Amino acid sequence: TSFQRNLRLKLRTSSCRRRGDRMHFLSFFKTLIGKTIIVELKNDLALKGILHSVDQYLNIKLNDMTVVDSEKYPHLNAVKNCFIRGSVVRYIQLPAKDVDTQLLQDSTRRAAQSDEGKR
């Protein structure tokens, strides 16, 4: 599928400890609102849906949600919208075509330079 070539972001609480890091991720994810993503939870459940919203804690709201492995979780087939707490997310898979990697690299570079200037 097209998601096999996607970027896969691993979110860890330790990588988002500083407020600046959270805001960096938040700005990035806000550019993906309206795009289809796959969210893999720490309990191995994977949900595919359209990103509706994301907040500063990286809580995610998905619309038109489907379960990737619907045979394993048939009771979730009736659920179409969901809220996912950021602390239970293991990975977020993004379609590579929807990610401006140059913008992301530039933003990361600027944030690193800003951190160096504060020391």
Beta carbons of 29 and 112 less than 8 angstroms apart: no
| pLDDT value for 65 | 96
pTM summary value: 0.73
Q: What is the pLDDT along the chain (119 residues), one digit of tens a residue?
A: 445 445 555 544 334 444 555 556 788 888 899 999 999 999 999 999 999 999 988 899 999 999 999 999 999 999 999 999 999 999 999 888 888 778 777 777 877 787 777 76
| pLDDT value for 103 | 74
Beta carbons of 90 and 39 less than 8 angstroms apart: no
Instruction: Give CA–CA dist 99/9, Å, rounded.
Output: 12
